[in-house]
Amino acid sequence: MVYESSYDSGRRPHKPDLTRGYWAAPSDFVYTCISLGFRMDVISMGWFIYQHMGGAVIPYIVCMFLFVVPIMVIQSFMGQFSSSGFISVFRISPIFKGLGYISLGVNLAVLTYYSMFAAVPLLYFFHSMRPTIPWSCEGMEKWFINSTEVEVEHSCKLKDMVEINASMAKTNDSYKYIGYEVPSVLFFNSIFGGDDIMDNYEYNSPFMFSWELLLCTMLSWGIVAAVFYRFYNTELMSKFLRYTIWASLALLVISVIRFLLLSLDFKYIFSYFIATPRELAEGIPNTLLFIVSAFGPGWGSIIALASFNRFKTNIMNFSWLICIGQMCIFMAYGILTHIIQGYFQSIIEHYDEVDNLYVYVNHHWALYLSSGSVMTTMSWPNLWSMIFFGMLALMALITMITCLFSVFQSIFDEFEILRARRTEVTLGIIGILAVLSLYTCSNHGVVFFSAMSMDSLFTQTTLNLFLLLVVLWIYGRIRFQRDIEFMLGQRFSTWKVNMLRFVAPICLIILLLISVIAAFYEHSVASIVVHIAAIFLIVLPWLYLPGYMIYVLLQTSGPFKMRFRRCCRPLDWYPLEMEERQRYEEAMGNMDITHQLSQMEDEVVP
């Protein structure tokens, strides 16, 4: 049997959403999935920085071959074959449908803090419109001196302090450490009262709130709500995402070129692509964490996005294009970060010849906070600041919209009753997320979000492990290869399947251990609010999995062994288009099921 009908199991059948639509162009699927690489919550962390691209490219390519592209093919297959989001798609093995609800919780959890990555660059974007940029050296003289009673050394004062600090070091036999702050980081601290929130991040530190950041957060969610209200169907959203992604990629290329033109030593730029064996080994853990970003900030976005493909779309070639495109974005982020760090390193190079003197610059969040001071040294700093921070804000908004787009469609695929009230449900969920995201407008929320980000990495990795179990072991290697061959007209090689069955789980388990260690570290300094949010949005959804398994087993008749087997078999697993469904059932010799499904629609078999 190809699949079991819902009527045979005595449950209400899955009713597909016939109004869901398709991408306006097949390439829109590629563009949208590439934009998942815009994810910034992982690489914005201070310890997640590549000093050498050569230490990341090779591990990244190896991981692409081992499991990233194959898992992307599996997720794309599930969404495209069934035309379903990440909840309903688990009717491929109904007993594991709880995984869909877990992924829904993860997506909503990520969105509660992700608006910060749009709000922060919007804050800098609007301040870049001022005649004198506040974090420039001229701006610092006007506002920073009178804003604090504590003397703070910053990089604008660095060159003037060379002789003084050198003489101080020579009069002391011990090492003297001098730390300088980046003006653009000091500006960000100033909106929270001036404290160094990036260094003083103890969970019991005073709670401070920024009204400027709150306004930018509300603006971000307002833009998201307006997009979903205006581009309400798949075709309109497809075109909107296509053009905004093009614009973001163009701005990214322009920014990389402009930063490359900074007066840095060419050897320093070239060294970014060279890695020693030690640097190569050190880059592997960070690479493993980064490649999770290939699947988006939540989980299941690729499944939902692939569900808008035409049935014959070649997801194998598209998966490689997506991963290569995301790797290029990753390299662009790395180049920008490397240049920003090199800029501050070049400022303090003249201290190398001073004995017993160690000078360093405290630059945090290189792409978001420290980059502002670098751009003040360029010609037309206001223009470049608006371009750069506008690009970051646009990328964050695209990521939020894409994630929400997959969430909404998955909800409407699963809950038929909500389809008649799409607008109300969409705007209602956006409003709730906007309220929950207000915590990120505080100094605690800005710093401690990384704990939930690490929790989401753990959950994403676990869901990928379950995905391999469901598709390749329970649904079965043979049936998976058969469906791929039917859908695409080309075979998914057995060695690739065995790679996914035996090698990929090992890689994912290693990644799981890394994410656990990182999550433990981040939670050790996080606030109680983050702990509680992680419990409700990350931990508790996992309790739904065994609960749903028990519920499904109780709804099925027969002995336990028979119930378990019936609940593991695919339920209503067929293509959405009637012509393809008939071809599928003809190819598998199950013509009688088509007649049954087309005649019985409303009642559940008692």
Amino acid of residue 178: I
Torsion of CA 156, 159, 165, 167, to 10 degrees: -160
The whole-number pLDDT of residue 606 equals: 35
The whole-number pLDDT of residue 199 equals: 56
* pLDDT > 70: percent of the chain: 77
Under the banding of pLDDT at 50, 70 and 90, the label for residue 204 is low
pLDDT higher than threshold 60 for residue 173: no
Q: Residue 145 falls within a domain, yes or no?
A: no
- SS3 category, 149: coil
Q: pLDDT per residue over 343-392, tens digit each?
A: 877 776 655 555 555 666 666 777 888 888 889 888 899 999 999 999 99
d(Cα 435, Cα 425) in Å, to the nearest integer?
16
Secondary structure of 253-301 in the HEC alphabet?
A: HHHHHHHHCCCCCHHHHHHCCCCCHHHHHHHHHHHHHHHHHHHCCCCCH
Direct distance between the N- and C-terminal alpha carbons of the chain, in angstroms, rounded to an integer: 22
Secondary structure of 328-359 in the HEC alphabet?
A: HHHHHHHHHHHHHHHHHHHHCHHHCCCCCEEE
The whole-number pLDDT of residue 243 equals: 95
CATH of residue 57's domain is 1.20.1740.10
Q: Residue 139 falls within a domain, yes or no?
A: no
Q: pLDDT per residue over 310-326, tens digit each?
A: 998 999 999 999 999 98
Return the CA Rg of the chain: 26
Q: 477: which 2 tokens?
A: 């290697």
Q: Residue 440 falls within a domain, yes or no?
A: yes
Under the banding of pLDDT at 50, 70 and 90, the label for residue 400 is very high
Cβ-proximal residues to 266 (8 Å cutoff; 6+ apart), any chain: none
Amino acid of residue 570: P
pLDDT higher than threshold 70 for residue 80: yes
Q: pLDDT per residue over 225-249, tens digit each?
A: 999 999 988 999 999 999 999 999 9
d(Cα 436, Cα 134) in Å, to the nearest integer?
30
d(Cα 527, Cα 473) in Å, to the nearest integer?
41
Question: Which of the two residues, 32 and 148, has the higher pLDDT score?
Answer: 32
| Cα–Cα distances in angstroms (integers) from residue 500 to residues 67, 254, 284, 497, in the given order | 6, 38, 20, 5
Under the banding of pLDDT at 50, 70 and 90, the label for residue 159 is very low
| Across 59-83, average pLDDT | 89
Q: Residue 339 falls within a domain, yes or no?
A: yes
Q: What is the pTM of this model?
A: 0.88
Q: pLDDT per residue over 414-444, tens digit each?
A: 998 999 899 999 999 999 999 999 988 887 7
Which residues, listed in sequence order, are joined to residue 4 by a DSSP beta bridge? 571
Q: Residue 44 falls within a domain, yes or no?
A: yes
Q: Is 37 exposed, middle or buried (0-12, 13-18, 19+ CB in 10 A)?
A: buried
| Across 38-63, average pLDDT | 67
Under the banding of pLDDT at 50, 70 and 90, the label for residue 198 is low
How many Cβ atoms from other residues are within 10 Å of residue 557's Cβ?
10
The whole-number pLDDT of residue 343 equals: 81
Q: Residue 314 falls within a domain, yes or no?
A: yes
**Cβ distance 95 to 571 under 8 Å?**
no
Which domain range does residue 511 map to?
6-128+211-592
Q: Residue 174 falls within a domain, yes or no?
A: no
Under the banding of pLDDT at 50, 70 and 90, the label for residue 523 is confident
pLDDT higher than threshold 70 for residue 603: no
Under the banding of pLDDT at 50, 70 and 90, the label for residue 11 is low
Number of independent structural domains in the chain:
1
The whole-number pLDDT of residue 139 equals: 73
The whole-number pLDDT of residue 455 equals: 80
Q: Residue 189 falls within a domain, yes or no?
A: no
- SS3 category, 4: strand
